[in-house]
Amino acid sequence: MHVFILGICGTFMGSLALLAKESGHKVSGCDANVYPPMSTQLEKIGIELKEGFDPSYLDEKPDLVIVGNAMSRGNPIVEALLNRNIPYTSGPQWLAEHVLKDRHVIAVAGTHGKTSTSSMVAWILHHQGLNPGYLIGGVPKDLPASACLGQAPYFVVEADEYDSAFFDKRSKFIHYHPRTAILNNLEFDHADIFPDLAAIQTQFHYLVRTIPSEGCIITPANDDNLEESLNRGCWTPIETTAELNTKASWQYKLHNKDGSHFDVFHQGSLAGNVQWNQSGLHSVHNGLAAIAAAHQAGVSPNNACAALSAFSGVKRRMEELGCIDGITLYDDFAHHPTAIATTLEGLRNKVGSSRIIAIIEPRSNTMQAGFHKDQLAQPAAMADISIWLQPENMDWNLKDALTKDANKQPMHVCQSVEDIIHLVTKETQSGDHIVIMSNGGFGGIHNKLMQQLEESHA
């Protein structure tokens, strides 16, 4: 079967393409923004990528078109798809019908940490020889690719609350029917889809309705938004996570402030110890939830801790890109005020008093709509210098929002990637830590900045 994927370079759709290819199908697709690491991963395994959305791409008459949720009515190739009466489906529906059926699905949901946590769960099961299937919205460093069919029974899936397609406005995770579900956290996001937090809580409630009574829900003990959603009805046992000396089923105790070393307790007893290269309290919470989920697959906490101690991380999640003349450059996917804050807090605890320069692109639909504009200055102030890109299509002034509250740390707003690179090159000095935060390609700033720093510090 020839499967053609619209929006193939999205993190979810790109991973789906890998599963379709591994299933024996001929796979090709198109997208408007083709950039690494997903484009590199797809090309490496021989999946043909086409730039843009030209209707002529459908002249090959694919047997099935999988439509990404970024595709909308009015797009030329979408109109051609409908007019030519070519069979089509959404990505989540294809995954549910062709891959997840009859599997023990471990789903990782939440506003933040889905990619990292699902990578951790998949790695633990892989490390223990269980050969799980998985689909992750990113590229894990420890696993061969972002998706793999694996062997029954276990399949780990990053369970996004975003909608499924232009013709299916249910959250993706409604399709997955997990037996084990991690609900990591819940905040307002995706303003282009959801009018308010309550609408997202409703989708999480619908997810909970699909989890069997013999399954398990793993959730933090202190997330009020999740608790409100669960209080609307829950028929599945719940295991909670929190710090030591709480009533949570799973607890942690930090050895290092940066989260690189912590103990794990289960039902009040010491169960293991994690020493890894991850940083930040958010990483500890993600790791604890992953250990709890792996326990549902029969992995002992001690073995899960040993696996996490060997966990390398995920590309674009505080990924160290290089060190030039004592200047360390990182790439991170943060695109929400909470994620920016936790990323910078983790880095601060790791590097101490060294200078941190944060470069931030407010690219998400929620950010550009201005829903979080009053919450940006405080997390950005955790860096010694923050530099922001003002997107051309954003109709509110980023500089006004950032200077609304008095902050001692310098905050700059630039109109182009080139302006940012010029400013950073001028400001940076040996010993600095530069973190680039965006959920997109950010105009290729990562390689451009690396090259400029290498030239200026040669």
CA 161 centroid distance within chain: 12
Question: To which residue do tokens 């007893």 refer?
Answer: 269
Give the pLDDT confidence score for residue 457 in this predicted structure: 74
91 in Cβ contact with 165 (< 8 Å): yes
Average pLDDT over residues 87-109: 97
> Which residue in the block uniquely carries the two structure tokens 């933090």?
220
- Residue among 206, 117, 184, 193 at smallest CA distance from 156: 117
Residue range 405-412: mean pLDDT, rounded: 73
- In whole angstroms, what is the distance from residue 237 CA to residue 84 CA? 48
CA atoms within 13 A on the CB side of 248: 23
What confidence tier does 368 reach under pLDDT thresholds 50, 70, 90? low
Tell me the pLDDT tens digit for each residue of 286-298.
999 999 999 999 9
Across the range 178-204, mean pLDDT stands at 89
Domains of the chain, start order: 2-89 (3.40.50.720), 102-309 (3.40.1190.10), 319-456 (3.90.190.20)
Nearest alpha carbon to residue 347 among 289, 261, 283, 251: 283
Question: Averaged over 116-132, what is the pLDDT?
Answer: 96
**For residue 167, what are its two tokens?**
């013709």
Q: State yes or no: pLDDT of 377 exceeds 80.
A: no
CA-based radius of gyration for the chain: 22
**C-alpha distances out from residue 157 to 84, 115, 120, 173, 284, Å:** 33, 9, 11, 9, 20
Instruction: Name beta bridge partners: 412.
Output: 387
C-alpha–C-alpha distance, residues 319 and 256, integer Å: 20
Between CA 445 and CA 418 the distance in angstroms is 8
d(C-alpha 164, C-alpha 286), whole Å: 25
Q: Which helix (H) or strand (E) holds 386?
A: strand 385-389
- Asked whether 391 and 418 are in contact (CB, 8 A), the reply is no
Instruction: Tell me the pTM.
Output: 0.83
CA 25, chain centre distance (Å): 27
Q: How many CB atoms lie within 10 A of CB 87?
A: 9
